[in-house]
Structure 1
């Protein structure tokens, strides 16, 4: 009898612990309470190691931050001098509140004189990256969530080794979980050739430091501080469309030249500081940009300590004509969901493209629950049929936001991401054209489709929805 009382007391303590620490996030609290009821002890252990709020590591809370603050101020001043000419007489956004928010984003300001190229699949994007790397003269910075030791990964490895042997400074960041299958031999070959490598929150270290849930999802290449790449592609054969499950892989990736590259570089080097403790603020890494483009671009660096939620919410609520979204995972938080419903009720054309065939079944089931809810509100969803759609895109009237962030809770709050707001009509028009092209190879999801689902499928969707705040 005593052991029953003790077990019950322990269970009550666990529940109280979750309630006390999650009272400001009731959706998440409810999910963890469900997990505790199903797995009383294991669930609590998982909570302790996975659900802890992100705290800035000592490497970023020291006085070293002063170096980054001074550098940021210098870069902002440089960008202001050039952007004021391009901003004269222009209306950038459809809503004054959105404009005010964009101006207050800590990093970075709107940058001028940019030239952007858009890639919709891996082959051309990777060739452009490797051509830029091959032509490098001073430094190469590479950061990816996933790096695989396959044919594409080996091509990158060999190119980086060659450039390092030529005397170019090469730095590589990979994520401790996303690249957990990357073998030691691969990294040793790079290091032996002179490539500096850093692992973002290694698996075991992040588990015991309770940062397992916070991953670096950025995909960055910077060459000589003058050419930058970012978007949705990781390094692996499947991103070339050579994976056995999906075949064709549809993504959105960018190359950029101009002042915006300074902020892609800033993002990489602050990550490098976090990973290695090294502070690199030498002006040679932030050269005067030679681009003569006329595009305005704002790089948006986000993470658990600087969320992208407010920006996405503002893009949705400010839209007057259209909201087009492409995402492999659609798990909106309550605010984003309400904003989309409100936009639909105002007559905004809301269309969302998701994969027809999922890569993660549980997440897809949760996605379908939100699809059904928005269909009832009048939104339109489409399942991409050609292969797998991994593009991350939001078009709000004449603005576009794209980069590495998915439309899910993890990208909103838990992962380190890099995106860009595009103001230029040519770039936005190109992204709109790509969206309509994807619509042409997608099948509209109708409300009647949900009525045909079996009872088991409906139960899976309900269960996945309950757990969705953890995705």
Structure 2
């Protein structure tokens, strides 16, 4: 009897710990409680070590760099978000969207910059040559940060390029995520270091289980060349992004090449991450050089992560979707939205807005695939249209809202990207780039099959059961 009481008290303690720790995310709390009921002790141990929330000031301790200090090196004529208004020629359409503009304009540490050039890179076949060309032209420094880099033909090609530049005297710094790049062997890294490349692993996997921060991964993909050219988007470094995965086949993705003021924001994000992994504070003027790009294309870089006070990317998505007047186009490899996104999509569709979502027919994870399917029926009943990409694996992370804005970056439309990962997105405001991305979306639709509600509702009970089970666990993915 005594041990039964002890076990009951321990179980109650575990439940209370989860409820208190996850009070901001009820669905996540329910998922962990489900695991706790199935695996009473093991579930709590896993929760304690892998998922317990931590605050920016007490646990992560990302000290030092502040964007407001770094941008003092930007030229006097550079207009920050504090001086932009609705009369700006490039933002003239925003005079009818003051609420959304105010939201975007007030995201902490995220400037709307105007002196930029933007190039959309469709798939790795365009992105890799562009990145390698920029690396080859580097004269001062290369900052190279990826969630995943493989020790394969593609990875070795980038390794060779970085080693060559380091031997030429260019300062090369690399950050790789400890989980995303866990297959990267020590020899690959030692070869980089041997040539003078500085390499740090973000929360190494070998210590992951014993580190309460291990659930929080660095999902960013950043390349900065000499502080004036930058890249970000959905593409990591590996053969699979060139279609080398036998299971997934063709890999559909979207990346961006930026030049101009927006690169300062990419640089700031990298240097903040660099300080986190290395303890080195780098904020010299050389990292934010002057340039002469004209004010052509407004770009806003938004970073988010568990170290921030606000869920900036989620809030941006929610605000943009609720402001839509004509259409919302979304491409995402994983669709596990939080309740606010579900409500915004349903409300938009019921209001007569054209809401279309492309997702991959072939999922790289069965559990995630079933979880994604579990959200579709209620949204289709509201008028949201889903399209299953047939050609291969749709890995792009793109959101297009009317002619107002488009968003490209690392964040998936899922709760891990919203709440757990360190992510980075670019919000694009110029119509040429928006129309280019919209055209790509319409071309992708030709490679899709629309999911019809009447057919979807007739799926088997077994499949529905798998979806329910996956959805219960989905907040943990």
Shared fold, TM over 0.5:
yes
The 3 A distance-change label for structure 1 pair 66 and 426 is closer
Select which of 198, 221, 233 maps to 1:196.
198
Q: Supply the distance in 1 between the matched residues of 2:402 and 2:369 (Cα, whole angstroms).
A: 28
The 3 A distance-change label for structure 1 pair 70 and 192 is same
Q: Supply the distance in 2 between the matched residues of 1:301 and 1:76 (Cα, whole angstroms).
A: 23
| 1:119 counterpart = 2:121 | yes
How do residues 289-368 of structure 1 correspond to structure 2 at under 5 angstroms?
A: 289-292=291-294, 294-304=296-306, 305=308, 306-307=310-311, 308-368=313-373
- Tell me the residue number matched to 1:439: 445
- Tell me the residue number matched to 1:19: 19
Q: Supply the distance in 2 between the matched residues of 1:409 and 1:77 (Cα, whole angstroms).
A: 40
Deviations 1:192-236 (A, max 9, x none): 000001111112444323011100101111111111010000000
Deviates more, 1:406-415 or 1:241-250: 241-250
Partner SS, residue 353 of structure 1: strand
Return the offset for 1:384: 0.3
Q: Supply the distance in 1 between the matched residues of 2:301 and 2:457 (Cα, whole angstroms).
A: 43
- Tell me the residue number matched to 1:428: 434
Return the offset for 1:450: 2.4
Q: Supply the distance in 2 between the matched residues of 1:127 and 1:350 (Cα, whole angstroms).
A: 34
- Tell me the residue number matched to 1:370: 375
- Tell me the residue number matched to 2:425: 419
Partner SS, residue 80 of structure 1: coil
Select which of 362, 370, 392 maps to 1:387.
392
Q: Supply the distance in 2 between the matched residues of 1:95 and 1:161 (Cα, whole angstroms).
A: 48
Return the offset for 1:30: 1.5
Return the offset for 1:288: 0.8
Return the offset for 1:345: 1.3
- Tell me the residue number matched to 2:36: 36
| 1:142 counterpart = 2:141 | no
| 1:91 counterpart = 2:97 | no
Asked whether the equivalents of residues 107 and 299 of structure 1 are also in contact (C-alpha less than 8 Å), the reply is no
Partner SS, residue 338 of structure 1: helix
Q: Supply the distance in 2 between the matched residues of 1:81 and 1:333 (Cα, whole angstroms).
A: 32
- Tell me the residue number matched to 1:403: 409
How do residues 170-209 of structure 1 correspond to structure 2 at under 5 angstroms?
A: 170-209=172-211
- Tell me the residue number matched to 1:46: 46
Q: Supply the distance in 2 between the matched residues of 1:104 and 1:350 (Cα, whole angstroms).
A: 27
The 3 A distance-change label for structure 1 pair 211 and 76 is farther
Q: Supply the distance in 1 between the matched residues of 2:76 and 2:104 (Cα, whole angstroms).
A: 17
Q: Supply the distance in 1 between the matched residues of 2:437 and 2:320 (Cα, whole angstroms).
A: 16
Deviates more, 1:97-106 or 1:78-87: 78-87
The 3 A distance-change label for structure 1 pair 78 and 361 is farther
Asked whether the equivalents of residues 101 and 311 of structure 1 are also in contact (C-alpha less than 8 Å), the reply is yes
Asked whether the equivalents of residues 92 and 423 of structure 1 are also in contact (C-alpha less than 8 Å), the reply is no
Q: Supply the distance in 1 between the matched residues of 2:179 and 2:201 (Cα, whole angstroms).
A: 9
Select which of 453, 467, 471 maps to 2:459.
453
Asked whether the equivalents of residues 59 and 274 of structure 1 are also in contact (C-alpha less than 8 Å), the reply is no
Q: Supply the distance in 2 between the matched residues of 1:67 and 1:111 (Cα, whole angstroms).
A: 17
Q: Supply the distance in 2 between the matched residues of 1:223 and 1:248 (Cα, whole angstroms).
A: 29
Deviations 1:415-450 (A, max 9, x none): 111111111000000000000000011000111332
Partner SS, residue 391 of structure 1: coil
Deviates more, 1:108-117 or 1:385-394: 108-117
Q: Supply the distance in 2 between the matched residues of 1:167 and 1:58 (Cα, whole angstroms).
A: 38
Deviations 1:58-112 (A, max 9, x none): 79748x5266542245559763279759963542535211100111111221111
- Tell me the residue number matched to 2:223: 221
Q: Supply the distance in 1 between the matched residues of 2:9 and 2:80 (Cα, whole angstroms).
A: 64
Q: Supply the distance in 1 between the matched residues of 2:162 and 2:428 (Cα, whole angstroms).
A: 30
| 1:463 counterpart = 2:469 | yes
Which consecutive segments of 4 or more residues in structure 1 shift more than 3 A? 57-62, 66-69, 72-79, 81-87, 204-207
* Structure 2 portions without partners, runs of 5+: none
TM-score, normalised to structure 2, is 0.94
Asked whether the equivalents of residues 122 and 241 of structure 1 are also in contact (C-alpha less than 8 Å), the reply is no
- Tell me the residue number matched to 1:263: 265
Asked whether the equivalents of residues 329 and 408 of structure 1 are also in contact (C-alpha less than 8 Å), the reply is yes
Deviations 1:152-176 (A, max 9, x none): 0000001111110000000000001
